[in-house]
Chain A
Amino acid sequence: DAGVIQSPRHEVTEMGQEVTLRCKPISGHNSLFWYRQTMMRGLELLIYFNNNVPIDDSGMPEDRFSAKMPNASFSTLKIQPSEPRDSAVYFCASSLGENQPQHFGDGTRLSIL
């Protein structure tokens, strides 16, 4: 079975550029999560979608970050403009139901120069 698929795996770009991260959740999963992980702050929840609707975006750092889920099989996380402090590993995860575990994608390692 295909797991959560994220692209790109690595992204290196210059400060000020737009960055778009992509995620395909596991088929049939109705919840999708975007996380950011750094050594300093650990795993941080950025935004959570349920049935394609954003439910909790309180973790989104600032207006430079935006996320969309146009359909059940695709989500994007966009950073515009990007800053060096956005450098981190970004994970997408999906889950099947309220008390079900999350399954993580391989992540996108983002470096902003």
Chain B
Amino acid sequence: QKEVEQNSGPLSVPEGAIASLNCTYSDRGSQSFFWYRQYSGKSPELIMSIYSNGDKEDGRFTAQLNKASQYVSLLIRDSQPSDSATYLCAVKGGSYIPTFGRGTSLIVHP
């Protein structure tokens, strides 16, 4: 059974700090990796996709993928209170159906 693991948190960081969110997965054949942000009472919103080993940067967000170690992470630089949300990691292994983690709750306090 394919598994995606995330620490449920909450992860609490001060405003302006770097928030680091981690995700591990069990399927070595996984090919596509996604990070979603979900505000309370809202739907998941795609913020990053990554397909190759290494780093991918988009504004204040950096996704990091290490297939050998089977982990993917999301760094949020200069964290803002508006970044407070649950972050979901999703992994696809060469099929149309992703496996989602349970999410990590992030709290950015002023």
A complexed with B = yes
Could you list which residues of chain A lie within 8 angstroms of chain B, going by C-beta atoms?
31, 33, 42-43, 45, 48, 50, 55-56, 91, 95, 98-107
- Contact call B100/A107, Cβ cutoff below 8 A: no
With contacts A99-B32, A105-B43 taken as known, whether A42 is within 8 angstroms of B94 at the C-beta atoms is no
A sample of 25 inter-chain contacts (CB < 8 A) reads A31-B96, A33-B97, A42-B100, A42-B103, A43-B44, A43-B88, A43-B100, A55-B96, A56-B97, A91-B43, A91-B44, A98-B94, A99-B32, A99-B51, A99-B92, A100-B32, A101-B32, A101-B34, A101-B46, A101-B90, A102-B98, A104-B36, A104-B43, A104-B44, A106-B42
CB distance from B49 to the nearest CB of A (A): 5
What 1/0 flags go to B21-59 for Cβ under 8 Å of A? Answer: 000000000011010100000111110010100000000
Main secondary structure, interface of B, reads loop
Any chain A CB within 8 A of the CB of B95? yes
Main secondary structure, interface of A, reads strand
Q: Between A and B, how many residue pairs show CB distances below 8 Å? A: 45
Q: Considering only CB atoms and an 8 Å cut-off, how many residues of chain B contact the other chain?
A: 22
Could you list which residues of chain B lie within 8 angstroms of chain A, going by C-beta atoms?
31-32, 34, 36, 42-46, 49, 51, 88, 90, 92, 94-98, 100, 102-103
